[in-house]
Structure 1
Amino acid sequence: PDLSDAKNLEVLNLARCESLVEIPSSIRNLQKLEELNMDFCRKLKVVPTHSNLASLVSLTMMGCWHLKKIPDISTNITTLSITDTMLEGLLESVRLWFGLQFLDIYGSINVYHAIAEIYLKGRGEDIKKIPDCIKDLDGLKELHIYGCPKIASLPELPSSLKRLMVDTCESLET
């Protein structure tokens, strides 16, 4: 679809567009777009890069099996949910998103073995819980948690962890 004239679009849900191979380049015109959902776009291979969607804060991709690279479409992502994909270079992209508050990665095999360090830096009440699936990150060597006053406990951690740094987490009990 041509999205050139949809300049006020705030949410684009393409979930279950199973024949969609490419997100139209006209997505670059959606400067008010806040949420993009591409769940189960099983044939999706191309998302236009360098779109600089300044308002985009939420990106969801589940079951995008043919998508190999995470789209470089916004530096303001706060919520990223990736499930059952085979993305490459995810960590390089995530490092550029300084405002990332919620990261959900599940069933993305190319990611798990590669994650060696995680830095969680909260802004007051942003981060309340570390997901239990962190124990499955068998390559994780370092976990840094800063400024997360709402975290009360830590989940089971992977045996590969060599360094745990926790600072300014006032509610942490266990």
Structure 2
Amino acid sequence: MDLNYSHDLIRILNLSSIAPNLEFLYLKDCLSLVEIPSLQNLSKLTELDLTGPNKIKDCPEIPCNIRILKLDGTGIEQLPSSIKHLSQLVILSLDRCTALESLPSSIGNLKRLEELYLSECSRLVTIPSSIGELKCLSKLKLLDLESCERLKSLPGLPSCLELLHAINCHSLESASISFNFLEHEDENEEAYKSESEDCKFLDFCNCVKLNKKVMEDVFEAHKLGQKVTLLMAGGEVPERMRYKNKGSSLSFKLDLRHVIAFSFCVVLRPYGEVDFPGFEVDFTCESGNRRERNAFNLFSDKDVANWNGYYGGPYPYLSDLSHVLLSFNGLRTRFDEECFVEASFCFNTDYYMDRPEIMECGVHPIYSRDKRINNEEEASSSSSLDLNLSLCLPASS
């Protein structure tokens, strides 16, 4: 039943008696719509679109088999606790619900939910901690919080999350990203080299109050092999990143034989407001007469536009604030002959006009790890090159 753009429609009849086999109900932009009867008895209903503007303030009773529920732009003030019974729900969209102040903790019971949209919910103050609890929202891939301007903190998030879109959350001060630290018992180094399906992107563009601890936590996650990309407002490379330099390039001696991954960082200063560009890193190493060259994708606007097909909108503009981009890259090629070589890294943008200036860059090589040695390295405050290289060698060397 498609009643989209029925601007004079005020209410609809009880559909369970006249259309018991209804599967889809579309009521988008029904400007005068005031109320909807209970839909709970529509046992075959799988998709409901109530996207506003409209005059609906209360969420109707929804059948348990619903898969897509769109309440964007409605005047609802809260979701009913009975939402926990929507065991088949895959997409829940609440964009522009400006009267919505909170979500029920029972939202953590939505075991099949993959996408949760909350952008421009201007009164939303908190996100329930239940969304990050073990076995809650175990399939959530995307969480969109763009322009939730009153949101001050984020709880722990589910480990399955792939894209956190939290740009322009101007009051956001803290975010727990403990899900990044899920360490597997299998220490297989192949995990560092493969393009993993569980790669995560945390987008905190223009979140001016966000604590830099988020950046430090992501950097620590890289050292554990977690494939995470972070964009957030800030002006410095993580403190514990081993090599850093002003500008867009740096060089150092690298233990090429044992390196398995890199953590990369750039600090960007836009020229005014520019669309966020793509970046890559040129990696060159020399040993004797041998010269190897490789390139890593640090970030691309296509990564966001097609992040597993979930986010397809235009990427937002950076403000005139400096931003930090932090990325993990596994090394696909293994080198068995050389050990210490001269390595050079140059960070490039694929934009030629109005491209942001790279103020600072950083590289942290991640070596094949012995847990005991890695723990010693984490505890050491020394930045000596010789000490750092000796700590990263395997125990058998």
TM over 0.5: yes
Give the whole-Å Cα distance in 1 for the aligned partners of 2:90 and 2:25. Answer: 16
Distance 1:170 1:117, change over 3 A: closer
Unpaired segments ≥5 residues, structure 1: none
- AA partner of residue 3 (structure 1): L
Task: Provide the alpha-carbon RMSD of the alignment.
Answer: 3.2
Structure-2-length-normalised TM-score: 0.36
Structure number with higher strand proportion: 2
Q: What residue in structure 2 maps to residue 7 of structure 1?
A: 20
Q: Is the 2:21–2:45 contact (alpha carbons within 8 Å) kept by the matching residues of 1?
A: yes
Pairing 1:50-65 to 2, within 5 Å after superposition: 51=62, 53-64=63-74
Pairing 1:59-98 to 2, within 5 Å after superposition: 59-64=69-74, 66-71=75-80, 72-73=82-83, 74-76=85-87, 77-85=89-97, 86-98=99-111
Unpaired segments ≥5 residues, structure 2: 1-12, 125-147, 183-195, 229-326, 329-397
Distance 1:18 1:144, change over 3 A: farther
Q: What residue in structure 1 maps to residue 158 of structure 2?
A: 120
Distance 1:170 1:34, change over 3 A: farther
- AA partner of residue 82 (structure 1): L
Distance 1:19 1:101, change over 3 A: same
Structure-1-length-normalised TM-score: 0.74
Q: Is the 1:150–1:170 contact (alpha carbons within 8 Å) kept by the matching residues of 2?
A: no
Aligned match of 1:45 in 57, 65, 71? 57
Deviations 1:6-45 (A, max 9, x none): 22212111111221112112x1111111111110142001
1:34 aligns with 2:46: yes
Structure number with higher helix proportion: 2
Give the whole-Å Cα distance in 1 for the aligned partners of 2:55 and 2:105. Answer: 24
The higher-RCO structure (CA 8 Å, 6+ apart) is 1
Structure ID, larger Rg: 2
User: Displacement, 1:139?
Assistant: 4.7
Pairing 1:76-155 to 2, within 5 Å after superposition: 76=87, 77-85=89-97, 86-111=99-124, 112=148, 113=151, 115-122=153-160, 129-133=162-166, 136=169, 138-145=172-179, 149-155=196-202
